[in-house]
C-alpha cells in the first residue's frame, strides 16, 4: 500500500516539475540569461600550435653541431 502511494506521489512530483510549478502551485522563476561576455577570453585552441610548425622552428646543422631555433 505504501509503495503505491510513493509511486503516485513520485508521478505527481514528476508532472509538477515538468510543468515547472512550485509545490504551492506558483510557476518557477524564469532562468537568468548568462552574460554575453562570459565566453570571452576562453582558450579555444592549443598553446603554441604555430610555433611548432616548420615555418617558425628552423633547424640547421654543420659538421659538428645541430641547431634548432625559433625564427
Q: What is the pLDDT of residues 23-61, one digit of tens each?
A: 899 998 888 887 777 777 676 776 677 777 778 777 887
Per-residue pLDDT band at 2 (split at 50, 70, 90): low
Check: CB of residue 70 under 8 Å from CB of residue 60.
no
Residue 21 in 3-state DSSP? strand
Domain ranges of the chain: 2-30+45-70
In this prediction, residue 1 carries a pLDDT of 55
In this prediction, residue 43 carries a pLDDT of 67
Examine the pLDDT at 7 and tell me if it is beyond 80: no
Q: What is the pTM of this model?
A: 0.44
Query: What is the C-alpha separation between 14 and 5, in angstroms, rounded?
Result: 14
In this prediction, residue 26 carries a pLDDT of 93
Amino acid at each position: 500500500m505504501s509503495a503505491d502511494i510513493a509511486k503516485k506521489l513520485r508521478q505527481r512530483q514528476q508532472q509538477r516539475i515538468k510543468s515547472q510549478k512550485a509545490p504551492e502551485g506558483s510557476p518557477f522563476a524564469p532562468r537568468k540569461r548568462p552574460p554575453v561576455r562570459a565566453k570571452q577570453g576562453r582558450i579555444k585552441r592549443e598553446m603554441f600550435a604555430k610555433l611548432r610548425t616548420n615555418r617558425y622552428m628552423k633547424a640547421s646543422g654543420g659538421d659538428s653541431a645541430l641547431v634548432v631555433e625559433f625564427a
